[in-house]
């Protein structure tokens, strides 16, 4: 494998610093479905969804929380 295309060996510490909180957040969201961060809750128009399972009757808007997506993105970036 070409060594010029790899990250330096020191980068593993950054990966661990991202992985551990992201993994704990992912475990918390899997263990408790009501676990979510309030700052990751957004009100999105219905045009963002192909299907409408999340409609709340609030004028065509849907309340969506992105806590589990943040955990998955953190794990992917850390790897």
Regarding predicted confidence, which is higher, 1 or 13?
13
Query: Which sign, positive or negative, has the C-alpha torsion 43, 40, 79, 32?
Result: negative
Which residues fall within 8 angstroms of residue 74, CB to CB, at 6 or more apart? 18, 19, 21, 22, 25, 26
pLDDT of residue 3: 65
For residue 71, name the pLDDT band (cuts at 50, 70, 90): very high
CB crowding 22-39: b at 16 or more within 10 Å, else e: beebbeebeeeeeeeeee
pLDDT of residue 57: 57
Regarding predicted confidence, which is higher, 66 or 62?
66
The per-residue pLDDT for range 9-49, each reduced to its tens digit, is: 888 999 999 999 999 999 998 898 888 888 888 887 777 76
């Amino acid at each position: 494998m070409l060594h010029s295309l790899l990250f330096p060996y020191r980068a593993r510490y950054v990966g661990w610093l991202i992985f551990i909180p992201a993994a704990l957040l992912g475990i918390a969201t899997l263990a408790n479905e009501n676990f979510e961060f309030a700052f990751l809750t957004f009100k999105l128009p219905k045009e963002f969804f192909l299907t409408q399972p999340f409609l709340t009757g609030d004028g065509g808007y849907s309340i969506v929380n992105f806590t589990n997506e943040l955990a998955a993105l953190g794990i992917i970036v850390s790897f």
